[in-house]
Chains A and B, each alone.
Chain A
Amino acid sequence: MSEKPNSTQLAVVGAGPGGYAAAFLAADLRMQVTLIDAEANPGGVCLYYGCIPSKALLHVAQVLNEARHAAHWGVEFSEPKIDLAKLRAWGQSVVRKLTGGLGQLSKQRAVHYIQGRASLVDHRTLRVQKAGGGEETLAFDHIILATGSRPATLPHFPSHSPRVLDSTAALQLNHVPKTMLVVGGGYIGLELGTVYAALGTEVSVVEMMPGLLPGVDRDLVSPLAKRMAAICRSILLNTKVAAVKEEKDGLRVKFEGAEAPAEEQVYETVLVSVGRKPNSNIPGLDNTKVEIDSRGFIKVDLQRRTNEPTIFAIGDVAGEPMLAHKASHEGRVAVEAIAGHKVAFEPQAIPAVVFTDPEIAWCGLTETQAEKEGCPIKVARFPWGASGRATTLDRSDGVTKLILDPDTERVLGVGIAGPGAGELIAEGVLAVEMAATATDLKLTIHPHPTLSETLMESAEVFFGQSTHLYRPKKIPR
């Protein structure tokens, strides 16, 4: 008699921020959960190869940059000695601590964790190729696919060359090259470029659109663009890489485009950061009714359910924006939907943060979007030159702005550029979700002297009454 396959109430494939958040909530709701991932502990790309290691390194970069800048204030540090092995080890220890912690949480909640790779047999069964060897078949009532995404590659690049890096390889920090070309001026390329530049690499950036961080409001990008121009060897916009050839001492790159240098350039390493692709190529998915759209995302409804009623999909594999916090919230909605609660994934604002220096963060409606959709808005902008706290930090290169509905004063979006933008944006998200008005923000007492005051002062700007910025309104409100 053949062994009856194991079964589980809920299977979660992928233990990144989406998958583990879902699994943990399901366990909290007393569901029997099985969590499957190729790594030994939950964490996914975010913890192992993305958000966490990059932020650890970016913190180091920030310290290095501030230390250098301190000379302006009468504190001069000598050139730092960088022990790369120790830096690497520290980064790895951060990852180990956090992923180990997730492993603990998983055990505490009695989540059945399987290290391996899953494939679908049909809409009620999956098979796992276990890391330690062997296979396991698992029947499930429901499954959440949280398989995430992978770095996109460029076809004409010699990807096998150790000199061509993707974000994962770059974060391994095997060595600090003398020169690096960052292909793609999006947030990943700029964050990693910032790290390497701080460690001493001459970084060049090439971007095919007319500006860095395409799609992001220009007034938020501009303080960063200025800084990047100062720390990078060159920033080439409206330019593409036409050809890359591996040579003995580096990679020879030919450019084409508006700012392409006439001659070919040689770089020790090239970082390819041109976006990420959803991991929707799950074996066995075509044995189910699940549909994938033209960009490779799994199609889901408001509850994150696919066309197959037993199968849900969340996170990077289910659509934009490809952000960890969006995945976590989707995961929780999916689990609640499976538990029979009447829920939907319907946030009014999902924040996005670029952890460069200065940081850039935004949420809700952006000026770019408003223009595209023909949405009438009013923008209340507060430059950090007028912020007391920013001045004490010697960082007036920032801006805070509110995107408001001209009739109801409602806060539709918030944009911030400057150190700490990533933390400050949370108040903006809350304002949008709570349908706060400019008056609400204006009347909420913010502590002084802080950068958070800039949100309150932006609201004051809307009424032409900003304390620290003289911008009288022509028509009294």
Chain B
Amino acid sequence: MATEFRLPELGENIAAGDVLKVLVSVGDTVSRDQAVLELETEKATIEVPAPVSGTVKSIHVKEGEKLKVGGLILTIEEGAGKKAEKKAEGAHEAPKAKEPVAPLPKAEKIQARQDVKEKAPEARVAPPVPPPPAAMTATPPAPRAKDEPLGPRVAAPATPSVRRLARELGVEIDEVTGSGPGGRISEEDVKAYVKAMMTRPAAAQPGAAPAVLPLPDFSRWGEIERQPMRSVRRKTAEHLSHAWATIPHVTHHDKADITELEQLRKQHEARVEAAGGKLAMSAIAVKVVAAALKVFPQFATSVDLVREEIIYKKYAHIGVAVDTDRGLLVPVIRDADKKSILELSVELARLAERARNRKTTLEEMEGGVFTVSNLGGIGGTHFSPIVNSPEVAILGISRGRIEPIFINGLFQPRLMLPLSLSYDHRMIDGADAARFLRWVVKAFEQPSSLSLEE
């Protein structure tokens, strides 16, 4: 298969460059990541790496030519190059399954990165495609403070000119691994980092690297206002970027006929309110999910890639997403399986209020094995929630709607509740997900099996 290699995004402030040197000829075998072009931008000369392995079929640039981002450089006939990388392991699935961005999950790779960091390497090794530090479940993230110096401040060891270069290229100097003694960061290290960034497929990698691509100066087009990112927003951004980047997501949608459940709910509403709760779908969902986890224990697991083990959690603490003025918080209801729907309603109302009033403790926010996210109160037909890593599944609930359902030869108006189950396909297969959700649907459709007090 012939691949057209076009110049990838280099950073917002670099739209083009001059071709300094073409490093390959027609007929050459190239490996993925091998430098094929030297490009001179305003401030630095950058090596442009090949995106795939194969044979150079044709070269579309000449030395001295100006090359814009998106411009055609080479046509490569893909084939077994020296390091023919196989495409994504789990690439069979639904559109949501992302190609693993960086070949993270192997223990050896993690080991290799640790080695690079720990000693000053003898040869100048360009750092491996830098995976997001938090992705490694076993290794603690790289100790680089960003804007806030955490404890003793040790700034990145880079000379002023190197720091300037990093700014010009839109690179966060603290993210660069230095190859010099004492971790000193050289100009080459910064350029190698840029090069490594370019080996990823194009710009749309939201979770892959901690925000390295520079933003344009938006004030060029109109008035702007900058506000500092508050801690909840920052944590949410980091957490979800990581979850999105490391978990191959699939979302399975289904609908539950809650016509009868809704009637029952209305009947008992008052009683629950008297007890200080709100008999809402969320509380019922928590109960149902807690029960489902007993039947499908693989949904209450976490994946330990370092030890290559699956951790089964024998408890049912369920997190419930709460929308607050500070952002999204997920307080956790402990032992939801041991609580009645009445108790869950009361606890949920209390937790939600505490979350909104900034009163939740750290303990109340951790320890969950599964998360429920209910947007039905606001609206929507379905959505694909992001798995609350390191959990493996999350149940999203959208707004119930009266729909015509074909029952016994007639169309009947039934209240249908959309359910969306996103799951980690490394752990959970499609069939399991379908069964789990079907079970949940059935539980919703047989409200007599649900008791208020048990």
CB within 8 Å of B: which residues of A? Answer: 309, 340-344, 346-348, 370, 373-376, 405, 408-410, 412, 433-435, 437, 439
Q: Does B160 contact A (CB under 8 A)?
A: yes
- Known A-B contacts: A342-B13, A342-B214, A410-B182. Give 20 more (CB < 8 A): A340-B217, A342-B168, A342-B170, A346-B163, A348-B155, A348-B160, A373-B151, A373-B152, A374-B152, A375-B154, A376-B152, A405-B182, A408-B182, A409-B182, A410-B157, A433-B159, A433-B160, A434-B159, A435-B157, A435-B182
Chain A residues within 8 Å of B154, by CB: 375, 405, 412
Query: B159: nearest residue on chain A (CB-CB)?
Result: A434
How close is B175's CB to chain A, nearest CB, in angstroms? 15
Chain B, residues 197-214, CB within 8 Å of chain A (1/0): the string is 000000000000000001
Chain B, residues 143-171, CB within 8 Å of chain A (1/0): the string is 00000000111110111100110011010
Query: Would you call B214 and A375 a contact (CB within 8 A)?
Result: no
Instruction: Decide: A375 near B153, CB < 8 A? Known: A342-B167, A342-B214.
Output: yes
Best-buried of A370, A376, A412, A435 by chain B (most CB within 10 Å):
A435
Query: A407: nearest residue on chain B (CB-CB)?
Result: B182
Chain A residues within 8 Å of B13, by CB: 342
Chain A residues within 8 Å of B181, by CB: 408, 437, 439
Q: Does B431 contact A (CB under 8 A)?
A: no
How close is A132's CB to chain B, nearest CB, in angstroms? 37
Chain B residues within 8 Å of A439, by CB: 181
Chain B residues within 8 Å of A343, by CB: 164, 167
Query: Would you call A375 and B224 a contact (CB within 8 A)?
Result: no
How close is A463's CB to chain B, nearest CB, in angstroms? 15
How close is B7's CB to chain A, nearest CB, in angstroms? 20
How close is A459's CB to chain B, nearest CB, in angstroms? 14
A409 CA / B120 CA spacing, docked (Å):
13
Chain A residues within 8 Å of B430, by CB: none
Chain A residues within 8 Å of B184, by CB: 435
A374 CA / B153 CA spacing, docked (Å):
10
List 23 A-B residue pairs with CB atoms under 8 Å apart, sorted by A's residue number: A309-B219, A309-B224, A340-B217, A342-B168, A342-B214, A343-B164, A343-B167, A346-B163, A373-B153, A374-B151, A375-B152, A375-B154, A376-B152, A405-B154, A408-B157, A408-B181, A433-B159, A433-B160, A434-B159, A435-B159, A435-B182, A437-B181, A439-B181
A-B residue pairs, 8 tightest by C-beta: A435-B157, A375-B152, A408-B182, A342-B167, A434-B159, A342-B168, A410-B182, A435-B184
Q: Does B130 contact A (CB under 8 A)?
A: no
Chain A residues within 8 Å of B276, by CB: none
Chain A residues within 8 Å of B219, by CB: 309
A412 CA / B152 CA spacing, docked (Å):
12
Chain A residues within 8 Å of B160, by CB: 347-348, 433
A435 CA / B153 CA spacing, docked (Å):
14
A346 CA / B163 CA spacing, docked (Å):
9
A437 CA / B163 CA spacing, docked (Å):
18
A237 CA / B157 CA spacing, docked (Å):
40
Query: B214: nearest residue on chain A (CB-CB)?
Result: A342
Chain B, residues 168-188, CB within 8 Å of chain A (1/0): the string is 101000000000011110000
A346 CA / B219 CA spacing, docked (Å):
23
Chain A residues within 8 Å of B217, by CB: 340
Main secondary structure on chain A at its contact with chain B? loop
A373 CA / B159 CA spacing, docked (Å):
24
How close is A27's CB to chain B, nearest CB, in angstroms? 22
How close is B186's CB to chain A, nearest CB, in angstroms? 10
Chain B residues within 8 Å of A340, by CB: 217
**Contact-residue size bin, chain B (C-beta under 8 Å from the other chain):** 20 to 34
Query: A302: nearest residue on chain B (CB-CB)?
Result: B147
Instruction: Decide: A435 near B158, CB < 8 A? Known: A374-B152, A375-B153.
Output: yes
A408 CA / B184 CA spacing, docked (Å):
10
How close is B150's CB to chain A, nearest CB, in angstroms? 11
A375 CA / B167 CA spacing, docked (Å):
27
A405 CA / B154 CA spacing, docked (Å):
9
A142 CA / B59 CA spacing, docked (Å):
47
CB under 8 Å from chain A, chain B span 107-166: 151-155, 157-160, 163-164
A405 CA / B182 CA spacing, docked (Å):
10
Query: Would you call B224 and A344 a contact (CB within 8 A)?
Result: no
Chain A residues within 8 Å of B155, by CB: 348
Chain A residues within 8 Å of B168, by CB: 341-342
A343 CA / B158 CA spacing, docked (Å):
15
CB under 8 Å from chain A, chain B span 56-94: none
How close is A315's CB to chain B, nearest CB, in angstroms? 20
How close is B180's CB to chain A, nearest CB, in angstroms? 8
Query: A310: nearest residue on chain B (CB-CB)?
Result: B219
Chain B residues within 8 Å of A405, by CB: 154, 182
A271 CA / B299 CA spacing, docked (Å):
76
Chain B residues within 8 Å of A342, by CB: 13, 167-168, 170, 214
How close is A430's CB to chain B, nearest CB, in angstroms? 9
Query: A307: nearest residue on chain B (CB-CB)?
Result: B226
CB under 8 Å from chain A, chain B span 350-370: none
Query: B152: nearest residue on chain A (CB-CB)?
Result: A375
Best-buried of A340, A342, A348 by chain B (most CB within 10 Å):
A342
How close is B154's CB to chain A, nearest CB, in angstroms? 7
How close is B58's CB to chain A, nearest CB, in angstroms? 36
Chain A residues within 8 Å of B183, by CB: 408
A357 CA / B225 CA spacing, docked (Å):
50
How close is B177's CB to chain A, nearest CB, in angstroms? 14
Chain B residues within 8 Å of A348, by CB: 155, 160
Query: B160: nearest residue on chain A (CB-CB)?
Result: A433
A341 CA / B43 CA spacing, docked (Å):
11
